[in-house]
């Protein structure tokens, strides 16, 4: 049996199946990137719910795996050279899993780098900007009287949706074939309506290509499952 005891996180969240990839996450827009990818690839994995509302990602056992104290993170017991690999940052995990399985990342160098550019676009722009907008709409930001900060993120979110909408003109997926660029982005775009209730303030119906793309993505069974993994313990 695979021994993962050298990783402190397995003492806090024990592995029932140490021979499987261990996923430590919450079904947030960042967390579901990895659960969707794992569902899409068919890799065997064991999810562990990290309660970020209780600051469990700041637990020393979690920080020993991810020094930044953020979900998601994984341990692959069958990493490079057959040795366990601990990995954090959702973009790095998506790239690793794509290369491990040979799925959802083009082999052609030009298309590969184009795909990675859109992954990094999500990491550097869509995630941070949509997340800040969500703060102002759903969390502490709604109590701030000065509306200029919120408007800044509304405007930037609209701009980014416009970039994505133009890229999707005449395409089913962000870079022709379904890839980690789509997987990285699905949870964030879905959250705009499903969690942040930002349909009206953003005019989401104006982004017809984005809306059609999201419908296609949400129709995928692996996406439907991944959006709710890890489930919160009863």
Q: What is the DSSP string of 99-132?
A: HHHT-SS-SSHHHHHHHHHHHHHIIIIIHHHHHH
| 232 within domain boundaries | no
76 plus 129 within the same structural domain: no
| 234 within domain boundaries | no
In the DSSP assignment, the letter for residue 233 is: P
131 plus 90 within the same structural domain: no
Residue 113: the pLDDT is 98
Comparing CA positions, the residue from 62, 120, 49, 115 lying closest to residue 90 is 120
The residue out of 103, 132, 150 marking a domain boundary is: 103
49 - beta bridge partners?
25
114 plus 87 within the same structural domain: no
* Cβ neighbours around 165 below 10 Å, total: 17
169 plus 118 within the same structural domain: yes
Number of structural domains the chain divides into? 2
Instruction: Domain of residue 90: give its range.
Output: 9-103
Which pTM does this prediction carry?
0.96
Collapse the DSSP code of 173 into the 3-class scheme (helix H, G, I; strand E, B; otherwise coil) and give the result. strand
Q: Which residues contact 29 (CB under 8 A, 6 or more apart)?
A: 127, 130, 131, 187, 188, 190, 191
Total count of residues recorded for the chain: 234
- Token pair for 173: 């997926």
Which CATH number is 163's domain given?
Answer: 1.20.1050.10
The residue out of 83, 103, 123 marking a domain boundary is: 103
Residue 180: the pLDDT is 98
Q: Residues 48-94: pLDDT tens digits?
A: 999 999 999 999 999 999 999 999 999 999 999 999 999 999 999 99
The residue out of 53, 78, 103 marking a domain boundary is: 103
52 plus 151 within the same structural domain: no
Collapse the DSSP code of 69 into the 3-class scheme (helix H, G, I; strand E, B; otherwise coil) and give the result. coil
> Residue 115 burial by CB count (10 A; 0-12/13-18/19+): exposed, middle or buried?
buried
Instruction: Give the orientation angle of helix 180-194 with respect to helix 127-138, to 10 degrees.
Output: 10
64 plus 118 within the same structural domain: no
| 57 within domain boundaries | yes
For 86, phi and psi rounded to 5 degrees?
-100, 135
How far apart are alpha carbons 63 and 60 in whole angstroms? 5
193 plus 114 within the same structural domain: yes
Instruction: Map tokens 């993120």 to a residue.
Output: 153
| 38 within domain boundaries | yes
117 plus 80 within the same structural domain: no
91 plus 44 within the same structural domain: yes
159 plus 197 within the same structural domain: yes
78 plus 144 within the same structural domain: no
- Token pair for 176: 């022709």
Which CATH number is 38's domain given?
Answer: 3.40.30.10
Residue 142: the pLDDT is 63
Terminal CA-CA length for the chain: 29
E strands along 16-168, which residues?
21-25, 45-49, 73-76, 85-88
Q: Residues 185-205: pLDDT tens digits?
A: 999 999 999 999 999 999 999
| 3 within domain boundaries | no
Residue 141: the pLDDT is 66
Residue 29: the pLDDT is 97
For 76, phi and psi rounded to 5 degrees?
-105, 110
| 1 within domain boundaries | no
Spell out, as residue ranges, where the chain has pLDDT lower than 70.
Answer: 1, 141-143
Residue 10: the pLDDT is 97
| 226 within domain boundaries | no
121 plus 83 within the same structural domain: no
Residue 147: the pLDDT is 78
| 233 within domain boundaries | no
């Amino acid at each position: 049996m695979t021994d993962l005891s050298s990783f402190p996180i397995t003492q806090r969240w024990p592995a029932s199946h140490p021979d499987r990839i261990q996923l430590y996450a919450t079904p947030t827009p960042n967390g579901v990137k990895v659960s969707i990818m794992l569902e899409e690839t068919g890799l065997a994995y064991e999810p562990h719910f990290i309660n970020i509302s209780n600051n469990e990602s700041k637990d020393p056992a979690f920080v020993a795996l991810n020094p930044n104290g953020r979900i998601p993170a994984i341990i692959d017991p069958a990493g490079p050279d057959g040795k366990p690999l601990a990995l954090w940052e959702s973009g790095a995990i998506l790239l690793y899993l794509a290369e491990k399985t040979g799925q959802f990342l083009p082999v052609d160098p030009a298309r590969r780098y184009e795909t990675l550019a859109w992954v990094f676009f999500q990491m550097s722009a869509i995630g941070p900007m949509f997340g800040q907008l969500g703060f102002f709409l759903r969390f502490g930001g709604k109590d701030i009287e000065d509306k200029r900060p919120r408007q800044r993120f509304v405007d930037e979110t609209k701009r980014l949706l416009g970039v994505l909408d133009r890229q999707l003109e005449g395409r089913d997926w962000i870079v022709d074939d379904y890839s980690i660029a789509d997987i990285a982005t699905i949870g964030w775009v879905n959250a705009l309506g499903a969690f942040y209730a930002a349909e009206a303030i953003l005019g989401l119906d104006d982004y017809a290509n984005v809306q059609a793309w999201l419908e296609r993505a949400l129709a995928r069974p692996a996406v439907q499952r991944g959006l709710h993994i890890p489930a919160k313990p009863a």
